[in-house]
Amino acid sequence: MNPTALEVAENATFQNFVNCYLREADSGAWHSGSGWADRRILGGLFHGIGVIELRLKGLRGRLALDIGYRSLIGRHRILSAWVNHDSSDQWSPLRPLDAVLLLVRELYDPGMADHRQREQELELVYRLVESCQLMARFIEARADDPSLEGERFIESEQSLLYGHWSHPTPKSRQGMSFWQQDHYAPELAGHFRLHCFAVRRAWVRQDSLLERSAETLVLEVLGDVGLSQDEVCIPVHPLQAQWLIHQPQVKQAIEAGVLRDLGAIGPEFTPTSSVRTLYSDHSPWMFKVSIPVKVTNSLRRNQVSELRAGVVAAKLLEKSGFVERNPQFSVLTDPAWLTVQLPEGGESGFEIILRHNPFIGGERRGVQSIAAILQEPLPGRPSRMRTLIEGLALREGRNVNDVALDWFGHYWHCAVDTLIRLYDEQGIALEAHQQNSLLDISGGYPSRYYYRDNQGYYLADSYREHLCELEPQARYSEELYYSEAMIRDRFGYYLFLNQLAAVIHRLGADGLADEASLLQQVRTWLSDMRRNLKGAGLRLVNQLLEQPELAYKANLLTRVQDVDELTAELELAVYTRVPNPLHDPVADSHKESADDGIDLARAEAIHGA
């Protein structure tokens, strides 16, 4: 019998949460093969390649996880969870969410609990339940929708039913009510018009690096909105409009005639995977707007610093000539912005960023979000990656493993190699996680990498003189400059432990390639790169190859402490350190089992395809 949407969502929540726990809180004790279960007379109930055992301080017991696939760099696949109370010999099966809630209690020490900690615990439980419920709703609504496998950019953006692969609450959206999901959730492919305000020109701040002003670009999309000569049109998300009209300073501006509420105007837009970046088939611009919603870790609102950063970064990339010299690499730039400056100063909530949209009218089919390519499939179906690789192998009459290795090489060339060289040559690092990254796979193999996100630019302080010579405005963007040490940690996490690790994991979990072989290939490529790198990129590669531990963004611990990473100092989430999978050819912790990193059910496909 096929699992229900709720059962699928509960299992996905369980897989995400427990893998976060193993990475960030307690890696547990690994027991290979069936010996552990056999000794406890549980052999017929455990079906994986081994068991991870966790100690539960609160229960004075243990939690056993039956592991179906053990990854060297990504997520383990967990078949079931069993609990033992008070160190007895009795083991009982746990439902997925019960196991999650048990581990939540472990994260908050009841003996040390205070009022604030209890609030944080309830907040985490609330977000877990909300995320799971929304995931179930999305799966039920879209499971049989053929557009989940569509080739258009927006179809890829709206196919992420599970969300962030290493986040405990990937679909948490505080501030968006249940009925509003139909209109504003990307997973439900809602469409809506923007809510517009007419604002006196003296109250508007804007910038554009194009020949046309930001206000002109907006009107080219929206059409005639009935403005007077002294007014500028500022579009916002409908949810943000409802929040704005209840703010005292906005009410005062409306009463004073500074603002006019124009209502819904223009063509319909639909949300991309970030929820707040909006796409229209009819607009050459995507609009990145603020929304009064906490998505995963943060309240999603544009900061004034981001507006300026997008323009400065676009200028730097253009003047460097790097994109022009590397046709396999592209950036969706944010060259224009507008906002309303209210007397109180700071962010007003009207901030809007214009992002280049090369996918207008469904153009450039085959450009897909890396997160969508790597997403876990629905039960009983192949992943998008597996379908892609097996289709190429059939078309070319080649071995699946050989095709997978070639695909990985194309991906490395247009994404990882190019991002490292950009950092080495220009001192510009990008927050290149899966959801910020797009691949052109229209020909099957990756041919171009696209980056997007004006929140994700890091300029190396050691390159400051070069960057300011390239673009004088860069000297006024102090918030973009970071030490090389900090960039190595952040860039190393986003590019290697988030994006690259997910690619390696997907190929391994689908039985298309061996994770250990892919990691060895990465070591070889990085070692080869050392000969041509001369600056910050060389120091990054040295760290990746030589440092035994790497910085890792701890999404679970960020949620445990209820941190909004976008408003924290330096926009820092909670980071921890994890063993570097690139440091040793065979990590000691993985020598125990010859089956590590291979799903036994798919092992034959690696060698026999």
Which of the listed residues 339, 360, 381 is the one where a domain comes to its end?
Answer: 360
**Is 322 in the same domain as 397?**
no
**Residue of 413, 414, 417 whose CA lies nearest to 425:** 417
Pair (321, 462) in one structural domain: no
The CATH number linked to 498 is: 1.10.510.40
Give the pLDDT score at 590: 39
Looking at the fold, whether 279 and 344 belong to one and the same domain comes out as yes
pLDDT at 586: 45
Q: Tens digit of pLDDT for each residue in 292-337?
A: 999 877 788 998 888 988 899 999 999 999 999 999 999 999 999 9
Q: Provide the pLDDT for residue 418.
A: 98
CB 500 within 8 Å of CB 522: yes
Residue 341 domain flag: yes
Q: What average pLDDT score do residues 522-539 get? A: 97
Assess whether 538 and 520 both reside in one domain: yes
Q: Is residue 168 one of the residues assigned to a domain?
A: no
Residues 477, 539: one domain?
Answer: yes
Residue 164: inside a domain: no
pLDDT at 584: 64
Q: How confident is the model at residue 601 (pLDDT cuts 50, 70, 90)?
A: very low
pLDDT digits (tens, 9 = 90+) for 384-411: 999 999 999 999 999 999 999 999 999 9
Which pLDDT band holds residue 110 (cuts at 50, 70, 90)? low
The pTM score is 0.92
| Residue type at position 341 | Q
Same domain, 408 and 351: no
Q: Is 138 contained in some domain?
A: no
Give the model's pLDDT for residue 32. 87
pLDDT higher than threshold 60 for residue 592: no
* pLDDT value, residue 239: 97
pLDDT, residue 173, reads 92
pLDDT digits (tens, 9 = 90+) for 344-368: 888 899 999 999 999 998 778 999 9
Tell me which of 129, 156, 183 is where a domain ends: 129
The whole-number pLDDT of residue 573 equals: 63
Pairwise CA distance, residues 543 & 536, whole Å = 11
pLDDT(591) > 60: no
Alpha carbons within 13 angstroms on the beta-carbon side of residue 457 total: 30
Q: What tens digit of pLDDT does each residue of 118-153 get?
A: 888 898 999 999 999 999 999 999 999 999 999 999
DSSP string of 32-72, one letter each residue: ETTHHHHHTT-GGG--SSEEEEEEETTTTEEEEEEEEE--S
Instruction: Kindly state the tokens that stand for 493.
Output: 């996490």
Task: Determine, yes or no, domain membership for 207.
Answer: yes
Instruction: Supply the pLDDT for residue 594.
Output: 33
Q: Which domain holds residue 85?
A: 5-129
Secondary structure element (H or E) that encloses residue 349, with its range: none
The average confidence (pLDDT) of the chain is 90
Provide mean pLDDT across the span 276-298: 93
Of 129, 154, 182, the last residue of a domain is 129
Band of residue 603 on the pLDDT scale cut at 50, 70, 90: very low
Specify the pLDDT at position 319: 96
User: Which pair of tokens denotes residue 377?
Assistant: 């499939």
Asked whether the predicted pLDDT for residue 229 surpasses 80, the reply is: yes
Report yes or no on 383 lying in a domain.
Answer: yes
Are 390 and 346 members of one domain?
no
Q: Are residues 473 and 495 in the same domain?
A: yes
Q: What is the pLDDT of residues 10-36, one digit of tens each?
A: 999 999 999 999 999 999 999 988 788
Would you say 286 and 277 are in contact if contact means Cβ atoms under 8 Å apart? yes
How many domains, in total, are found in the chain?
Answer: 3
- Give per-residue pLDDT as tens, 150-193: 999 999 999 999 988 889 999 999 999 999 999 999 999 999 99
Residues 341 and 370 in one domain: no
Question: Is residue 160 one of the residues assigned to a domain?
Answer: no
The pLDDT assigned to 349 comes to 94
Give the model's pLDDT for residue 1: 75
Do 198 and 100 share a structural domain? Answer: no
What's the whole-number mean pLDDT along residues 498-526?
97
Mark whether 385 and 349 lie in a shared domain: no
159 within some domain: no
549 & 507 share domain: yes
The answer to whether 100 and 127 have CB atoms below 8 angstroms apart is no
